[in-house]
A and B are shown apart, each in its own frame.
Chain A
């Protein structure tokens, strides 16, 4: 206890605590600063490599040129982005409706789950590129084709996560609902759906990225027909014309879109779960 007595009043915490505080502060700053620094360094390196090796712009354009193209071609690129976004969000919406709907159906009856789940797996494991030629034959409408494609890719994580969540309810709580004479519907609404929420949101985060991938891939496969005008067809077009700056600009737009989708879904998930779920709690040191 003597150590407490001799400690000066100006230093209320010991060396170990001070070290812990300092490393916590450093980590907090590094979390956002490091990625930015590394990204900037990579861009500078990219620029230097182009200059040092005198790489022609139709093979690897300098970052400045890509940026200039992004601005110059903005009307074209952003209208294409809108087309891709529309497919992405529509298919994500359908994936949520279809995935949650099927999951709810599955939890109503084990038999339905046993019968239908293998089909969902078959859809999931077969590469969409291989399925597309069939869709191309059977479906006429271009938008429907793309939607169907993106939906097939995106709905599985929502289905499997939500099914898992609906079935992961505390046994005692299910007993409690039974004891209170709750109907199937009440148990679903007041117990199973809220309990499945963290699982569903986890699936949604994955599905958001997959819907974008699905939309772009579908467009790639369909794009050769030359009817669609999403970002993927801009990339194909730019590739044919050796317009590398536009190709890069479109690529950057797609990545940025993917990141924004992920961040938005993460934010939604955090806001919904922050009060009660372990995953959204601040980690205690």
Chain B
């Protein structure tokens, strides 16, 4: 099947959301985020890259509305966003262990009052897209780690969200499975035209997937640098071995090291 070319319909002139001077301090006194300013454009595949404790997951939870910022605002640019416009994929598959694959994917629709019958076409379609046709009646424990993650992604996409928030979704998977899911995710993104904010601590994964990488530093969590990934889509397995890929990985790694170096210096003082 040829990959549809929607690539970079990403309308850079059309921001989807602004984070405006977001700060988050927990009751324990830990400052997770400090003065975070970030603009996400419609159709972006944005990676938040950084070491543990840099607040990238906290930033994602604030965008999702799961956490309230201590200061600053999340500005959706007046977009009339419904809850179904935000999809969320966790690090763990986070499925209902007692429910079948079908029922797990049905869940977000069910919570909005969509009946089983009404939902079945959309569910069948999204399961086909993540290569899980035929597994509708399996329960999560009968599936491999990669398949569970596919169910989780299908559940995130079944509401046709405008923005998909992913919190280190493939971190627990083996490399072969991760590569495969990376390819499939890019394909889906290319086809459906949603926006992605992807939290990761892997330089290689972020470069392969995104058109923009926001490198973050820790203690306190803040944005260190915003990098554009100037490589064309579609990106397939060939891209992983290309010269341009390794070049971008090198500059991104350097940026990340500098971000972590700042942290170490701060730590000494």
- Identify the A interface with B (CB < 8 A): 170, 172-173, 175-182, 186, 190-191, 194-195, 197, 275-277, 281
Contact = CB atoms under 8 A, between A and B. Distances in A.
Contact of B94 (A172, A197, A277): A172
Contacts of B83: 179-181
Given A179-B83, A276-B141, A172 B107 contact: no
B107 A190 contact: yes
B111 A276 contact: no
Contact of A172 (B90, B110, B141): B90
A181 B61 CA distance: 15
A281 B97 CA distance: 13
24 contacts: A170-B94, A173-B96, A175-B61, A175-B88, A175-B90, A177-B111, A178-B66, A179-B66, A179-B88, A180-B111, A180-B112, A181-B83, A190-B96, A190-B107, A190-B110, A190-B111, A191-B96, A194-B96, A195-B98, A197-B98, A275-B98, A276-B97, A276-B140, A277-B98
Contact of B88 (A176, A186, A277): A176
Given A186-B111, A276-B139, A179 B98 contact: no
Per DSSP, chain A at the interface is helix
Contacts of A170: 94
A276 to B, nearest CB: 5
B146 interface: no
Q: Which 5 A-B pairs have the closest CB atoms?
A: A172-B94, A181-B83, A276-B98, A180-B111, A276-B97
B108 interface: yes
B184 interface: no
A177 B112 CA distance: 11
Contacts of B64: 179
Contacts of A195: 98
A182 B64 CA distance: 15
Contacts of A175: 61, 66, 88, 90
B213 interface: no
Contacts of A182: 111
B197 interface: no
Given A177-B111, A179-B86, A180-B111, A277 B97 contact: yes
Contacts of B4: none
Interface string B99-112: 10000000110111
Contacts of B140: 276
B64 to A, nearest CB: 6
Interface in B20-50: none
Contacts of A181: 83, 111-112
A181 B65 CA distance: 11
B90 A176 contact: yes
A180 B66 CA distance: 11
Contacts of A178: 66
Contacts of B107: 180, 190
A281 B107 CA distance: 25
Contacts of A172: 90, 92, 94
